[in-house]
Structure 1
Amino acid sequence: MEKSMVRNVGINFIGLILPTFVSLATVPAYIRLVGVERYGVISLVWTLIGYFSILDLGMSMAAQHQIARAQASGDVEQRTRVFWSAVWLNFATGVIGGLAIYFGAFMYTAYVAHSAPALQQEVYRALPWLALAIPLANVSWVFAGAINAMERFGIYNANQTFGTFLFQLLPLGAAWFIAPNLQTVIAAAVLARLLAALLLARASFKLLEIRRIDWPRRHVAGGLFRFGGWMLVSSITTMLTDSLDRVLLGAHLGARFVTYYTVPQNLVTRLNMLPNAMVRTLFPRLSAIDRSDANGMATTSLVFLNGVFTPFALFAMLVLEPFLHVWIGADLAVASAPVGRILVLAVWLVGQASVTRILIQSQINPATAARAGLVQLPFFVALLWFGIERFGPVGAASVVALRSLADYAVLLWMSRVRAKPIALDMLAHLVFLVAGLALGDVIDAMTHPLCAIGAALLLAIVNAAWSALTHPALRALVVAFAQKIIGRTPSPLKARSDA
């Protein structure tokens, strides 16, 4: 894998981690300032706005794809036409969404929500700000897509991280210095989003060398809709499959079992930041290069992902139970740990499938990847129903892992690459993960946590060593990294002589 690609994966990975820490750190302060009920309303509001991301219609990804292609061919005019067409289309759908959320939230607050009259008044005063947030978010996604299309991930992540700081801290400051009510907090949050959007707009204008405002072009908009529509179908299918396990578990067994499932799920899904960083890095590059180069890059990326991600997955799998014991208590840890270990395997498989999916989306046809998800959906629901009925949360997690494996196999076959070496490499790493599952069941991590941690480290080191020995490219990367670290660390003799 190219050094520039590895560097970009690292930049995107850091860009995904930092906002998570910022968000976690500010939650207690929000709850103390605005109270539990108001914070619950604010959380619901941002969740609702997240659902309205569907109004992007896959346009930001379509724009990223076409801008990357135009950049590769040196067509500056086409790059500009795509950018402005996507901006205006997303602005229009955002305005529609803003009106929908304004009137929908008004009706919900007035007739459905069971809130105190004073809190209802606060919601009403905040509604114009909520309506403004939708088109603002829609347009921001196009700016972000344009920056990523130019593969300037450092600029994107710097702006994104700064925007996250603003989004978390500006409303907190407004609640402290002005008033701890909904309209103040939400208005400050929207203002933070506006400032972040302006920063992204400025960066995208500079990178794309945009000198004027242009109107959308019909033929460009048609191409964006065709590509983006199938990307949207894939996103909706993913959203459904990601939530059906919890919905069916709650319907079958009740809320207590949903807790046993959701607690480890929310924890282990944090592991997908590494494959997400890789996907974000690969998509514009795969869109810009020809098919043979794209196949080679996807194959190399899967080898790199296996070599780097598998040791982390193995370690997480075996230390999960002692961590849960400290974090949430012994009773819940015993019930949740087996579920979490299986879900670690599922997250690892999803990461593999994500790389093959974007290869198909960027090089073949996004419709192909979307249809694969749609065909699998009814089988997934039926198996999930059976797994929950017979085996409870462990059955749900097992079906999710099997579905991820099937998705990866189908997408690998559809991608039209040389599947055999890729599949053999994946299966070798899968053996390590299955061994990790078996060790997790055998070791009593509650009684012997150090034994579990030692086994996790040993298995992760053995897997990493095996990857380095069997793949020269990974070995060269490890050696180069070690030389760089050693080169930056002065030896004691050198330090003494310098003194």
Structure 2
Amino acid sequence: MKHNMFRNILANFLGRFWSIVSNFLFIPLYIKFLGFESYSIVSFTLVIAGIMAIFDSGLTATLSRGFARNDHDHEYKVRTFVTLESIYLIIVSIIIIVVVLLAPTIAKDWLHTSGNDNMAKFIMIISFDFGFQMLLRFYMGGLLGFEKQVEANLLQMFWGIIRNGVVVLIILFNPSLYIFFLWQSLSTIIFTLLFRFSVAKALYGGYFKTFNFKIEKPVIKDVWKFAGGMLLISLVAAVNTQLDKLTISKLLPIEQLGYYTLAVSLATSVAVLVNPIATAILPRFTALFSSGSRSEALSLFKITNLYTSVIISCVVGMMAVFAKEIIWIWTGDHTIAEKSADVLIYMVIAYSMLAFSVLPYNIAIANGYTKINNYLGIASIFIAIPGYWMVTERWGVYGVAVVFAAVQIISTIVYLYFINKKFLHIKPFAVFCIKDLLLPLILAGCITFVSHYFLARYFFGSRIFSFLLLSVIGLFSLLVNFLIFIPQNEKINLKKIVFNHKLFKK
């Protein structure tokens, strides 16, 4: 079982690692070939994608949880899949139609592009891309529920290569946003079908199981409470994560959204590094809690949380201290580095808070509990809306970043407290937070701060040398944190799992 979980974690890490690498590789090339103004338009389309994700309706999480549960038989899982897939197809179709109809209004009244109707056409094209992305993630959730992380991540990596990598070659010869968006939409549609084939194989035993449109009331009655809670979580989360960008796009020039989104793209790598572990662990949490093995689930949470804390702390320390250097190494543009560095510092703090809450969130989802997420999310919105509006015109994107970070810090502290009180019962909880969360963060920050103090003069020469230097500092920070905070028995267990795994055998 541990070897299985290790394989899944490794597969998820490779998938998420590709996400990070693709960001570093492709975004600078988009800026180079399309221009920064066009990249800013791409940034706004990502905001639309985030809003459309609201309409996930909790069905992806519901499907993944349903497939992972030990107390459901195969027949019930088939009925659940057919019902949820039917509902999902209806939702996605409605969303695409609505976005296409509203595209001219969004372009004219929100972005004030009345003199140019290109933006409206771009929005129409990407409505298909992001609509099918919703379907793709729905089917991927099914694969993850079956604990088929290897297959899911391989498909996701190939999708990223075709969608985001091959398009670079296309815009190199024809730097057109039309071609850019059309290619991405077509790639997503094709890989959505491939993901569907894989889910059908896992569920039915055959790739080409025909689609069966059927909505069963008993299934809806059984899952509606969890799915409804997840819908509200999706709605609240989408508003919380996109409201800052919507405010910037409405009140500031679209180029400012480009600088802000650039920093966000880097900061999200904190969560991207943690999600592979969380994704592999969620089905196990669900199985353990559904079978009443709470003590085993708690032990799994503690050690997994410690590993993720070490990873988060090292990445946050690097990005916060070397913000300007990292953006310059990434883009090769000193102006972009200057304008985005301060935003990145606040964003990496904010997304580290989100990353710290991923495993507790999985504990809640494994137990079908969504109430606290919704309460906190709604409270955050009431703080963020006036906060963004007051700071944007005076301090611009920097003010928005500060408000976003403050909201995430407060929300995460409160969330961890309540999840522990309801499910984990770790005592004393304050000592747990200091030892497992705060101390790794302090140590990583000290290592990177001292490194920056003594080595700052060696940066801004060669980008390759600077990247290698940063890599050495980051690996050193990770190694020191690992040696100090990971218990000796866990180091021995990890060594056994790694070197006994078939990937390392002849």
Judged with a 3 Å threshold, the aligned counterparts in structure 2 of structure 1 residues 444 and 232 are, in CA distance, closer, same or farther, namely farther
Tell me how large the CA RMSD over aligned residues is: 4.6
Q: Distance in 2 between matches of 1:137 and 1:233?
A: 20
Matched, 1:467 2:485: yes
2:233 corresponds to: 234
Q: Distance in 1 between matches of 2:347 and 2:46?
A: 26
* Number of corresponding residues: 480
Q: CA deviation at 1:80?
A: 0.5
Q: CA deviation at 1:387?
A: 8.7
Q: Deviations over 1:212-269 (max 9, x none)?
A: 6361111312444432232232233333333455677899999998788665443232
> Greater relative contact order: 1 or 2 (C-alpha under 8 angstroms, separation 6 or more)?
2
SS in 2 for 1:78: helix
* Conserved? CA contact 1:313–1:348, under 8 Å: yes
Q: Deviations over 1:320-348 (max 9, x none)?
A: 34334555666775776565445434433
2:365 corresponds to: 361
Judged with a 3 Å threshold, the aligned counterparts in structure 2 of structure 1 residues 189 and 268 are, in CA distance, closer, same or farther, namely closer
Q: Which runs of 5+ in 1 are unaligned?
A: 490-499
Q: CA deviation at 1:203?
A: 0.7
1:450-489 map, 5 Å: 459-468=477-486, 470=487, 472-478=489-495, 481=498
Matched, 1:429 2:432: no
SS in 2 for 1:151: coil
* Conserved? CA contact 2:310–2:478, under 8 Å: no
Structure 1 length as normaliser, TM-score? 0.77
- Residue in structure 1 matching 2:300, options 297, 302, 320: 297
1:141 corresponds to: 137
1:496 corresponds to: none
User: If you compute each CA radius of gyration, which structure gives the higher value, 1 or 2?
Assistant: 1
Greater displacement, 21-30 / 266-275: 21-30
1:196-207 map, 5 Å: 196-207=191-202
* Conserved? CA contact 1:318–1:456, under 8 Å: no
Q: Deviations over 1:412-458 (max 9, x none)?
A: 33223133364232232233245358648x827643559x9587665
Q: Which runs of 5+ in 2 are unaligned?
A: 460-465
1:87-486 map, 5 Å: 87-106=85-104, 113-114=113-114, 123=121, 127=124, 133=129, 136-168=132-164, 186-209=181-204, 213=212, 215-244=214-243, 263-290=262-289, 291=292, 292=294, 293-324=296-327, 326=329, 327=331, 337=341, 340-341=344-345, 343-379=347-383, 400-415=404-419, 416=422, 417-419=424-426, 420=429, 422-423=432-433, 424-433=435-444, 435=446, 439=450, 443=453, 446-447=456-457, 449=459, 459-468=477-486, 470=487, 472-478=489-495, 481=498
* Conserved? CA contact 1:136–1:197, under 8 Å: yes
Supply the AA of the counterpart residue of 1:204. Answer: V
Judged with a 3 Å threshold, the aligned counterparts in structure 2 of structure 1 residues 487 and 340 are, in CA distance, closer, same or farther, namely same
* Conserved? CA contact 1:307–1:474, under 8 Å: no
Greater displacement, 296-305 / 162-171: 162-171
Q: Distance in 1 between matches of 2:253 and 2:38?
A: 27
Q: Distance in 1 between matches of 2:503 and 2:216?
A: 54
Judged with a 3 Å threshold, the aligned counterparts in structure 2 of structure 1 residues 412 and 197 are, in CA distance, closer, same or farther, namely same
Q: Distance in 2 between matches of 1:257 and 1:175?
A: 23
Judged with a 3 Å threshold, the aligned counterparts in structure 2 of structure 1 residues 389 and 355 are, in CA distance, closer, same or farther, namely farther
Q: Distance in 1 between matches of 2:28 and 2:342?
A: 30
SS in 1 for 2:284: helix
Q: CA deviation at 1:46?
A: 6.1
SS in 2 for 1:229: helix
1:51-66 map, 5 Å: 51-66=51-66
Q: Deviations over 1:273-303 (max 9, x none)?
A: 1112222222222222225033332222101
Judged with a 3 Å threshold, the aligned counterparts in structure 2 of structure 1 residues 253 and 137 are, in CA distance, closer, same or farther, namely closer
Q: Distance in 1 between matches of 2:286 and 2:298?
A: 12
Identity within the alignment, %: 17
* Conserved? CA contact 1:299–1:422, under 8 Å: no
